[in-house]
Amino acid sequence: MHRYRSHTCAALRKSDVGSTVRLSGWVHRVRDHGGVLFIDLRDHYGMTQVVADPDSPAFALAEKVRSEWVVRIDGVVKARTEETVNRGMPTGEIELYAREIEVLSVAKELPLPVFGEPDYPEDVRLKYRFLDLRRETLHKNIVRRTQIVSSIRRGMGDAGFAEYTTPILTASSPEGARDFLVPSRIHEGKFFALPQAPQQYKQLLMVAGFDRYFQIAPCFRDEDPRADRLPGEFYQLDLEMSFVTQEDVWETVEPVMTRVFEEFAEGKPVTNNWPRIPYDVSIRKYGSDKPDLRNPIEMQAVTEHFAGSGFKVFANMIASNPKVEVWAIPAKTGGSRAFCDRMNAWAQSTGQPGLGYIFWRSENGTMEGAGPLAKNVGPERTEAIRTQMGLSDGDACFFVAGDPAKFYKFAGEARTRAGEELNLVDRDRFDFCWIVDFPFYEWNEDEKKLDFAHNPFSMPQGGIAALDGEDPLAIKAFQYDAVCNGFEIASGSIRNQSPELMVKAFEKVGLSQTDVEERFGGLYRAFQYGAPPHGGCAFGIDRVVMLLVGAKNLREISLFPMNQQAQDLLMGAPSPATPAQLRELALRVVPTKKD
């Protein structure tokens, strides 16, 4: 028999009854039932119940073992009685009668309980992550993550892609976040950067003629953490294709990701056809470029119904500023004063002056609008709003007015709030879409200049003619995001492969041809030697896994994450460099002056 085990703790079944076997694992818990000891023995694969009665030669040692000790147990497999069968365990029809126990490793008193998975402070969970990872839910999430990544790799291979590995030490690149810099010992005073994404390298692969590339790529960004992005590093399915339009990219990756979700959705419906929603339409309908399509609420402009109306607050705003619009947020089944007052109070709690509303009720067979706005605009306008929004008895509608560029985010939050409060959101499904036609440029109010709105290496719609003749803020890009259930899970574009167009695009944001040659020299040179039309995208592996396992935080699907202060509590990173290390790198730490 093997030194440690003949079976895993998930392997034994009723067909093994009568066999003498050997198991090794962790003591999950010990229960004393009238002098008979029951040990739940756990390993990576599952759990087996072990029984030690007073007649067993292993009983004396069984009395001493404690939670999370590592033990080897030899024994005989026996069938459980019908009333003690545990249908919730794969091994629930049998139990192992212990004949010999060997303690392989003793555990100190635990700083973090494994059994039961009670809530525990995050700093303790991260400092003792090796214990946290023994917990069933987190352990299961990590295993599921590896299965999802394997499925993605299979799908990409089936779609004709080959996996290529790009460098980790590279040059600084403007990907929208701060770089992690790595000082060079050999080249004093110079620095490498960890890649925010393999963007330039994958484009260079297309110029080199590799046609279909993918990689499960580590990416590094020195940015503040949030629930849907870990500090420091994350992983993405990075892909690029040559001789393609954006439609080709969508039609290629949709089936791959749809199959991955169907494989791990545990029966939840998955969108088969991903709608293409222009950015401007998404903002106006949903108040977001990451719409949760499970929420059926769609906003509409109702400015005309308030122009010149008796509701002077909105009417005067419309008359004084041509940019002002009034947007309506329909709320089916929300037609009660109590709900409308709750929404209004919520709006005020976010710093808004309030949230105007009308709700409809049927009185003596006549549909009437109620609420302060209804009284001010009158029955005809109220009825026109109800008809436009498709509302009926028992429904409500909320209104936001002003410059849409300034209020659309709040309107989107109100849409989300109403959908959740009224239980209109179908949470047991996965709804995808592509957000397309992003703006190429945006205005940086702080610096009073144009900036790229998305990926600076994207192709502007209309090409060089658009850059020469159009208002820069009106130019759209061949850029697109994939969204699932309100989360951006991918971003991509058709790339700008023309050196002349590349220079002109960067000139608009204040960079000269010399700047482009210095900062993006590899890509700029490559484009002068025959670059094919190409494009691609990158899916966030962490977000995909988070959605599929139903986690609320990325730390619940990552092995060794940092905390909210971007610290690795387990390994003690970041940590000070030694004086010798700094001398080797010709560096000196200059503390930041405190005001």
For residue range 539-565, what is the model confidence (pLDDT) as tens digits? 999 999 999 999 988 899 999 999 988
pLDDT reported for residue 223: 82
Radius of gyration of the chain (CA): 30
Q: What is the mean pLDDT of residues 220-247?
A: 87
Q: Could you give the percent of the chain with pLDDT greater than 70?
A: 98
Confidence at residue 106, expressed as pLDDT on a 0 to 100 scale: 98
Structure confidence at residue 226 (pLDDT): 67
Beta bridge partners of 97: 51, 76
Give residue 367's pLDDT: 87
Of 197, 140, 192, the residue nearest 174 (C-alpha): 197
**Please, are residues 206 and 213 in contact by the beta-carbon 8 Å criterion?**
yes
Beta-strand pair 70-79/181-183:
unpaired
pTM above 0.95, yes or no: no
| 267 CB-near residues (< 8 Å, 6+ apart) | none
User: Model confidence over 184-208: pLDDT tens digits?
Assistant: 999 999 999 999 999 999 999 999 9
Best CA proximity match to 435, nearest among 490, 374, 475: 490
Looking up tokens 């690149």 gives: 173
For residue 30, give every residue at least 6 positions away whose Cβ sits within 8 Å of its Cβ, in sequence order, or none. 37, 38, 39, 40, 62, 65, 66, 67
Residues 6+ apart with CB under 8 A from 135: 114, 117
The pLDDT > 90 percentage for the chain reads 89
Other C-beta atoms within 10 Å of 451: how many? 16
Buried b (16+ CB within 10 A) or exposed e, 98-128: beebeeeeeeeeeebebbeeeeeeeeebbbb
> Within its chain, how far is the Cα of 389 from the centroid?
32
Give mean pLDDT, residues 60-66: 96
* 370: enclosing H helix or E strand: strand 366-370
Q: Which domains does the chain have, with CATH numbers?
A: 14-105 (2.40.50.140), 137-273+480-493+534-595 (3.30.930.10), 295-421 (3.30.1360.30), 439-476+498-531 (no CATH)
Q: Could you tell me which residues come within 8 angstroms of residue 81 by beta carbon, excluding any fewer than 6 positions away? A: none
Please give the torsion angle defined by the CA atoms of residues 137, 139, 144 and 147, in that order, rounded to the nearest 10 degrees.
-170
In angstroms, the CA 384 to CA 566 distance is 53
pLDDT digits (tens, 9 = 90+) for 327-348: 999 999 999 999 999 999 999 9
Give me the sign of the Cα torsion angle 272, 278, 280, 281: negative
- Closest to 402 measured CA to CA, from 329, 327, 350: 327
Tokens of 339: 């709900």
